[in-house]
Amino acid sequence: MAAAQIEATIIRPRRRGMGSRRAWIAFLFTLPAFIAFILFKYYPMAQAFYMSLFNYKVADPPGIFVGLSNYIHAFKDPLNAKVWSNNIILFLWNLALGFWVPLVQAILLDEVSRLKTFYRVAYLLPSIIPTVASAVIWKWIYNPDWGLLNNVFERVGLPPQGWLNAPNQVKFSLMLPLLLGGGLSIFIYLSALQGVPLHLYESADLDGASIWAKVRYITIPSILPIIGLQFILTLTGAFQIFDQIYIMTLGGPADASRVIALNIYYYAFERIQMGYASAMSILLFLVTFVLVAIQLRLTRGEAQ
């Protein structure tokens, strides 16, 4: 007994020393990334907040101090109300047309036994295409005069549509490509599906459960945290969308597709109102932060 106690007193300090050393190694490896995060994330955010308090002059910074006037103007500007509503509608169209598609594709792909690798590569390849290139292709497809989509409509006897040129169709048209699915979301869902215990499905088969019942009562509850994560990514992506809008519509027609990020770009780099643009970017950050925090709280509550 005495020998065991002596051995324990020798081994414990060694383990503590090894644990402390591993902690320091981990700290040193994460330190460069942490410094880069501060320099390229938090410092620009702090600088944006500082600029938002001024009528910022690029040629003679920082300009005249105006306090919260830029924020007050952002709340009173009628264009901002339209812009925020555009983002909300685009988010709803995203949920209706695109959010559920990768999940369904992943569930079906998980059932495929032959050519599984081929299908996975086929679904992954579209995500390699740059967003700008994809937006240019879809802009050509939507062209009301010589675009591919209206050409197909005419061949089947349907009237041509305005698509991106029609204020009542532009938001739907921007989100319609999401109906094709594909991309990395499928593989995120696939990884989650492979973690669902097989005995749950075997028990369901013995009970004679249908495919829909297995999906509803086993698959969806098992991967609910991943669905919540994808919802958060969809939410933040919908409020930060810029590339597709800039390439395909530039906010038109009649500001029907002008979004928050495009509005910030317009005031910052076309009207050179850096202070006002910074105020709108801070408001965008706060709204997104609050929405994500609420969603995380709800997801955590459902998981418990």
Q: Which CATH number does the domain housing residue 247 bear?
A: 1.10.3720.10
Six-digit token string for 97: 């047309």
pLDDT band at 15 (very low <50, low <70, confident <90, very high): low
Q: Give the residue ranges of DSSP H helices in 1-52.
A: 2-37, 43-52
User: Is residue 206 located within the same domain as residue 88?
Assistant: yes
pLDDT tops 80 at residue 11 = no
For residue 23, the model assigns a pLDDT of 83
pLDDT band at 2 (very low <50, low <70, confident <90, very high): low
Taking the alpha carbons of 205, 209, 213, 218 in that order, is the dihedral positive or negative?
negative
User: Is residue 133 located within the same domain as residue 217?
Assistant: yes
User: Is residue 80 located within the same domain as residue 212?
Assistant: yes
Six-digit token string for 117: 């690798």
For the ranges 124-133, 134-143, 174-183, the maximum mean pLDDT occurs at: 134-143
For residue 72, the model assigns a pLDDT of 94
Are 189 and 223 spatial neighbours (Cβ–Cβ below 8 Å)? Answer: yes
User: Is residue 174 located within the same domain as residue 249?
Assistant: yes
User: Is residue 95 located within the same domain as residue 226?
Assistant: yes
User: Is residue 46 located within the same domain as residue 108?
Assistant: no
Residue 213: domain span: 75-303
For residue 149, the model assigns a pLDDT of 94
For residue 296, the model assigns a pLDDT of 77
pLDDT band at 295 (very low <50, low <70, confident <90, very high): confident
For the ranges 31-40, 112-121, 182-191, the maximum mean pLDDT occurs at: 31-40
Let me know if residue 207 belongs to a domain: yes
User: Is residue 42 located within the same domain as residue 154?
Assistant: no
For residue 12, the model assigns a pLDDT of 55
Say how far apart CA 152 and CA 212 lie, in whole Å. Answer: 35
Are 90 and 238 spatial neighbours (Cβ–Cβ below 8 Å)? Answer: yes
Let me know if residue 66 belongs to a domain: no
For residue 5, the model assigns a pLDDT of 56
Let me know if residue 86 belongs to a domain: yes
pLDDT band at 232 (very low <50, low <70, confident <90, very high): confident
Say how far apart CA 99 and CA 38 lie, in whole Å. Answer: 32
Let me know if residue 61 belongs to a domain: no
Instruction: Return the HEC string of 61-95.
Output: CCCEECCCHHHHHHHHCHHHHHHHHHHHHHHHHHH
Are 280 and 267 spatial neighbours (Cβ–Cβ below 8 Å)? Answer: yes
For residue 302, the model assigns a pLDDT of 56
User: Is residue 85 located within the same domain as residue 203?
Assistant: yes
Query: Which has more pLDDT, 7 or 71?
Result: 71
Instruction: Provide the mean pLDDT of the chain.
Output: 86
Six-digit token string for 86: 């555009």
Are 93 and 172 spatial neighbours (Cβ–Cβ below 8 Å)? Answer: yes
Q: CA-CA distances (angstroms) from residue 281 to 51, 69, 74, 78, 237?
A: 11, 15, 10, 17, 15
Closest-CA residue to 51 (of 64, 37, 36, 42): 64
Tell me whether residue 291 is exposed, middle or buried, using C-beta atoms within 10 angstroms of its C-beta: 0 to 12, 13 to 18, 19 or more. Answer: middle
Give how many domains the chain has, as a whole number.
2
User: Is residue 141 located within the same domain as residue 15?
Assistant: no
For residue 187, the model assigns a pLDDT of 86
User: Is residue 277 located within the same domain as residue 161?
Assistant: yes
The pTM (predicted TM-score) of the whole model is 0.84
User: Is residue 231 located within the same domain as residue 273?
Assistant: yes
